[in-house]
Amino acid sequence: MKRYLAADFGAGSGRVIVGTPSTEGIQLEEIHRFENNQKMIDGHLRWDFEALFNELKTGLKKAFAKYGNEIESIGVDTWGVDYGLLDEDGKLISTPICYRDDRTKGMLELAFQKLPKEEYFKLAANQFMEINTAFQLLSATVETSPCGVSELQHAEKLLFMPDLFNYFLTGKCYNEFTISSTSQLMNSLTHQWDDVIFERLGLPKHLMQEIIYPGTVIGRLSDELAEEVGGNLNVVAVGSHDTASAVASISDTNNDWAFISSGTWSLMGTPTKEPIISKEALESDFTNEGMTDGRIRFLKNITGLWLIQQLVKEWESEGYKCDYSELVKEAEQSTLSSSFNVDDARFMNPEKMSDAIISYLKENNEELPVTKGDFMRCICTSLAKKYAEVKTQMERCTNKKINKIYIVGGGSRNQLLNKLTAEHTGCEVIRGEVEATAMGNILVQLR
């Protein structure tokens, strides 16, 4: 029997999941779970990469200990835009910086001085967010390391985070298509690194690697690593961007559906054959990113369960024990009708999420939440209204009617949010896979 591993690095935790195909579908088994916490190092918010790679190795050890040579392959996925830099000896120059670090503030304005927004969108066709790789790199051109020498001057290769894990597994350097498509550095039509973008922004194109597609076998574990973890397997490029893997779990062959990958971010979109680079798509702030089958995810990044996650952290730090399902039940009992713009900049990384929400509501003369259920109701209502707004924009840009919305990922378990989404969008809401990312990851390996 063949089994397949999905290594999924999410915002708060990472998992190594075993997928076993059967006549009833793919059975998923979580074999290892671990925290994924970012750390402040040298004044920047960074990935704890060394610790995470050790956790990945632990997951491999557990899988081989239980299933031995039945383990066929592994695919790695993470969120988009973040990267690590290797020097000429193949060593990681420094711990990769997380997109929530504030080093990219002001980079959009600097970029548009070099490459006007409209011209830029026609090339990369991505939503303009200062967290994107292009603007992280741009910030590195104006920032120096503590020793006064830019890290970019010593860099030989740029690997996005899934590519970096794959490199540490195999020693092979590639940039996978779906994760590359989030960078705002790739031409959306040619699927190659765009010369104009690199030249106009003054970025070093030589750092970029060959772009490979999902389903490509990258290689086997290095001999040393295989001995350490107790076995060997193929490392496969999957939908390395976690949303690409999540969408790959949806099997609908019709053209009337949209998806919401509901997690820390809500990524709402619909499949298209070609990128949409119209003026309306630009003005509505949509992005065009790769799917695992080579099509395009025409979507918008919306702040998602981050709002709830930060509230729960805040409440637990104050001594309250928070049960997610109980919070949803309390929200169902709340009569609060207030809502806010979930994408307001103040919600990106506030000191206290509750204060940020109250601040917005006060400014807009909305009724203020009192109970935890009120806060939850307010967030769910706000998200549902945003989904309805984006659905309308998406229909205009794609010139098609959307009748169904698949909600996949952890947020699909929030029945109140599902219900409010159906009410505000007028669509049939279908709850997809909770472990959609792992499922899509494994489906690509099977393919």
Q: Which residue has the tokens 């619909």?
A: 270
SS3 422: helix
Could you tell me which of 157, 152, 149 has the C-alpha nearest to residue 139?
152
- Please state whether beta strands 257-262 and 265-272 pair in parallel, antiparallel, or not at all (unpaired): antiparallel
CA 276, CA 267: separation in Å to the nearest integer? 17
SS3 149: coil
Q: Which residue has the tokens 């949010």?
A: 417
- Please state whether beta strands 175-176 and 211-212 pair in parallel, antiparallel, or not at all (unpaired): parallel
Q: Read out DSSP for 153-170?
A: HH--EEEEHHHHHHHHHH
SS3 85: strand
Of the listed 8, 82, 242, 374, which one is catalytic? 242
Residue 120 is which amino acid? Y
- Please state whether beta strands 13-22 and 296-303 pair in parallel, antiparallel, or not at all (unpaired): unpaired
Hey, what's the torsion of the CAs at 369, 374, 376, 380, to 10 degrees? -90
Give per-residue burial for 241-273: e unless 16+ CB within 10 Å, then b. bbbbbbbbbbeeeeeebbbbbbbbbbbbbbbbe
Helices 372-398 and 415-425: crossing angle, nearest 10°? 40
Integer Rg of the chain from CA:
21
CA 40, CA 314: separation in Å to the nearest integer? 19
Count of alpha carbons within 13 angstroms of residue 409, beta-carbon side: 26
Residue 354 is which amino acid? S
Question: What are φ and ψ of residue 411, in 5° steps?
Answer: -70, -15
Report whether 185 contacts 256 (CB < 8 A): no
Active site residue 242: yes
Catalytic residues: 242
